[in-house]
Structure 1
């Protein structure tokens, strides 16, 4: 087996990666603020909920990064003479800063899972049948995640994150988070695909829901890959799992905001194109475009034009008699 990366090296790499990803999250959050201010009058209640959740996720990621910066100074400057060096100091699980930062990570994951369930529920027309397995997983993830954080406070300085007492709970939390992400993303993707397949036969133009499917899959892929890698690294007992673990807090926020912003921009572009089309005088009428949402971001469905032809027969003899009477 290859030698383990020392914790002091792992922590430097992990905080560097977290800081880079936090920069992306900050940019997305600012973009979300701009879009919400620009489209404030046209926003639904769901959109406002999503915007509020995005701000909360950014706040959690900000405090998490700040705590890691604090730990960086403590480990390499203030406690540089700690017995065993920085590696030994970082391995202490019961310190308030370690417990707090991991509690923030667990909260970010749980919040992301809860909002993904909400998005899937909205997209499935509030069908409660899909909620049961997802809510059960959410409850299991919440219990396992906060149990780990509570157990940290009881650990002694010689404890290790791979100890048997912790490993079962941590593995359960990682696994549940990954399965939850796969299920919610799969349910939303299937719903968009099935709707697109059904509406294709009635569509009179080239508007499609497939771009929304691509947005969902591309944006969720980063979080799914990160959660799978951290689960594999932890199961194999590698310290490198810390690198992905610290990165997951901003990654959850990036995934959430990326989906919300890209769908909002796509929907706004589609709506403006629909408004800019010249009106044509035709027999019959056109139904109003219906809207579906992915957790508040409007997804305009396709308008269906219904033409009504009326055949009117005229009796020539009746017309002639009418003219004679006049």
Structure 2
């Protein structure tokens, strides 16, 4: 038994695709170890309050699932290539307990990643049920199609492949639903952040834009890999993307926390919670050029009364100069009223 033939010129053989999948999974798992340690460190430095403990718990669960995934890959490679000859018949058998567990861990990790993204969407849109509910439905549909594919996988004969319609169609549906969830939720979160940063000062706007790019880049990592998987789903090369997604599904959520925390977002010590603030729990440190004497006199070093430090909206200390338009007028009442409509947790998808 030689396995499915290459689907196109340059496609890998089944044996080679299975072996190379380990070369893909190994380095990704090493990255997962480093990112998980950094994630735990960032959350610990922030303080183990309720939401940080929840994020740490979820990150730990995903890391454990990713560890189980890499163990099943090692077992599969060892049994298939550990003897004097390659056991192609074993590698082709998609209904072995090891392979079924491997796919179960991948699908479960993917669902957890989707659920975390939906939770961030719910937080940043001020717990809007109607906006979040379509994505909850998408996530539940992903679970139904994914686990249905797993059930059908256990019913395959040793000579059947995953390209059979009763397996392949369910898998395609699972991947497409997951892409829709990731893309749609990321787009909605990004739009909300973009609206929020329009009325911030330049320094805060740059910080929020950086966090926005962190979210987009981290989400794109999983989405792009899944899109490639759909494209190569009927080829032997698709095995590489399936193996990689078993690790990437755990990497994305923790990577967002780490990158945001190391940049100095609300996960860092540069931002301090402020009780009773109008629009959010975060406060920005005063600029370095401002000393205590200036704070007491209410003027900047130049003595200009127009540069008095005020505490407005999002409990952020800024200068009146930063709020002036090009013609020198202060923001209109209408603009200020619109700024009060910013989300309650502008970065709540990271740290509510």
Residue by residue over 1:249-272, the C-alpha shift from the partner in whole angstroms, topping out at 9 and shown as x without a partner, is: 211221111111122232226428
The two structures, once aligned, show a CA RMSD in angstroms of 2.1
Partner residue of 2:112?
111
Give the match's secondary structure for 1:286: strand
Residue by residue over 1:70-95, the C-alpha shift from the partner in whole angstroms, topping out at 9 and shown as x without a partner, is: 111111125x65xxx43321111211
Partner residue of 1:271?
271
Please give the TM-score of this superposition, normalised by the length of structure 1: 0.82
Residue by residue over 1:121-163, the C-alpha shift from the partner in whole angstroms, topping out at 9 and shown as x without a partner, is: 1111111111221011111100010011111111101111101
Q: Decide which of 226, 234, 240 is 1:243's aligned counterpart.
A: 240
Show the 5 A alignment for 1:112-191: 112-191=113-192
Give the match's secondary structure for 1:126: coil
Give the match's secondary structure for 1:24: helix
- Structure 2 distance, partners of 1:87, 1:174, is 27
Q: Does 1:77 align with 2:82?
A: yes
Where is the helix percentage greater, Structure 1 or Structure 2?
1
Give the count of matched residue pairs.
Answer: 286
| C-alpha contact 1:94 1:157 (8 A) present in aligned 2 | yes
- Structure 2 distance, partners of 1:8, 1:166, is 21
- Structure 1 distance, partners of 2:309, 2:254, is 42
Larger radius of gyration: 1
Show the 5 A alignment for 1:215-254: 215-234=214-233, 237-254=234-251
Give the match's secondary structure for 2:127: coil
Which stretches in structure 2 are left out of the alignment for 5+ residues?
A: 1-7, 273-283, 299-307, 317-343
Residue by residue over 1:188-224, the C-alpha shift from the partner in whole angstroms, topping out at 9 and shown as x without a partner, is: 1111111112x14xx3x52212111111112222111
Q: Does 1:32 align with 2:8?
A: no
Residue by residue over 1:35-68, the C-alpha shift from the partner in whole angstroms, topping out at 9 and shown as x without a partner, is: 222222xx54222211111111111000110111
Higher relative contact order (CA 8 A, sep 6+): 1
- Structure 2 distance, partners of 1:122, 1:210, is 18
Give the match's secondary structure for 2:347: strand
Partner residue of 1:17?
24
